[in-house]
Structure 1
């Protein structure tokens, strides 16, 4: 099966100032985010990626470029609307401190499957289109490059959390238990029987072991020996 590395974009000017950016144009990486993206690129440099798919928003395209700059080959780098940021509607551009006073905030925290952003989309709709896009792309990369293919998807925190929740078999109402830091890497394989969540929210460590570890279709009873690689590469 193919392997997808889910990368969140680096820290942005909005992240640093506590503003919900959403899909607002012109939100870019701040100096810390640029450094984080460069480190993510260095981590992925040891993995020959067959493709890097990006959300269309600028912060993700910047992070994607940082990864591309450190790839030995020239992997395809298409834009994918299916993994763009959640449409937070009227919440976009507002301070998180102010949003926390809204009644909807507690719904987003405790029952996200029921959350619908005014003038935007629901978290359930966000998850459905993001999971569909990742599974479709994963199948396409495997069909083109074989079961050992490794590719990356550069997206957003809530998007990646929702994809991981689906892969873990978690109800969307539990997805706030997952943390995804800026420029972190999470790893999923979609096997014939179930998704295999290999790593979550890692921000350090060599990922070169992925190039030589195609994974197994069945879960290893007892845990198995694991891949040969530094423990710091996995969470």
Structure 2
């Protein structure tokens, strides 16, 4: 009997930007990395990934993700097929992009958006349902490219909101529980169930947490 298929996605968030530091909503604004301040996190992530190989790379088409990918795969850029995909962009925060919580917190529409856990779209932006819809389409394309009895590993460079939404779907956790820091992410492993549907069998932090000191 052929071995069951296995899909592994290493999904990481881009490195630090100036707007991250200022705690501004970035959304789909094309903000570059804050260099050299972003380098410690990027170097740590590159060290984690330097011994790993992948069958493909998927990356948001925004500059901060492209820069992150270039840094963490430096010297191996041409090793794997790379797909730049707008479906992996951050949630579109509409009128809130470029603004901070402190600037917005007294506005009723903003409070309603926060209380809805993103289900209500911000003015001029996307709801989390909109984000989930495009991520579902992207994930369907990924699994459709995986043979049922093969093993496939992919590196995915995306955004905090993308990882939050993937964790909500595959880990079943609450909206506010799925955040990850810049240049960090999650490793999702999928296997085929009895009806040959891909199911998430495990999720773990990337980089892995340091072992506790005895």
TM-score category, normalised to shorter length: 0.7 to 0.9
Map 1:56-135 to 2 at 5 A.
Answer: 56-69=61-74, 71=76, 74-112=79-117, 114-135=119-140
CA 1:192 to 1:6, structure 2 compared with 1: closer, same or farther past 3 Å? same
SS of the residue aligned with 1:37? Answer: helix
Identify the residue that residue 147 of structure 2 maps to in structure 1.
143
CA distance in 2 between counterparts of 1:198 and 1:26 reads 29
TM-score, normalization by structure 2: 0.83
Identify the residue that residue 225 of structure 1 maps to in structure 2.
none
C-alpha offsets along residues 28-47 of structure 1, whole Å, 9 cap, x if unaligned?
33323233122212211111
Map 1:5-16 to 2 at 5 A.
Answer: 5-16=10-21
1:37–1:66 contact (8 Å) kept in structure 2: yes
Q: 1:38 aligns with which of 39, 43, 46?
A: 43
SS of the residue aligned with 2:37? Answer: helix
- Shift in Å, 1:73: 6.5
CA 1:139 to 1:169, structure 2 compared with 1: closer, same or farther past 3 Å? farther
Bigger strand fraction: 2
Identify the residue that residue 161 of structure 1 maps to in structure 2.
164
SS of the residue aligned with 1:32? Answer: coil
Identify the residue that residue 203 of structure 1 maps to in structure 2.
207
Structure 2 unmatched ranges of 5 or more: 1-5, 194-198
CA distance in 1 between counterparts of 2:51 and 2:9 reads 15
CA distance in 2 between counterparts of 1:74 and 1:199 reads 25
Moved over 3 A (4+): 70-73, 104-110, 202-205
Bigger helix fraction: 1
Structure 1 unmatched ranges of 5 or more: 206-230
1:47–1:150 contact (8 Å) kept in structure 2: no
SS of the residue aligned with 2:155? Answer: strand
1:42–1:70 contact (8 Å) kept in structure 2: no
Superposed CA RMSD in Å reads: 2.4
Of 24-33 and 152-161, deviating more is 24-33
Identify the residue that residue 25 of structure 2 maps to in structure 1.
20
C-alpha offsets along residues 136-175 of structure 1, whole Å, 9 cap, x if unaligned?
22442x339x7332111100101111011101234xxx22
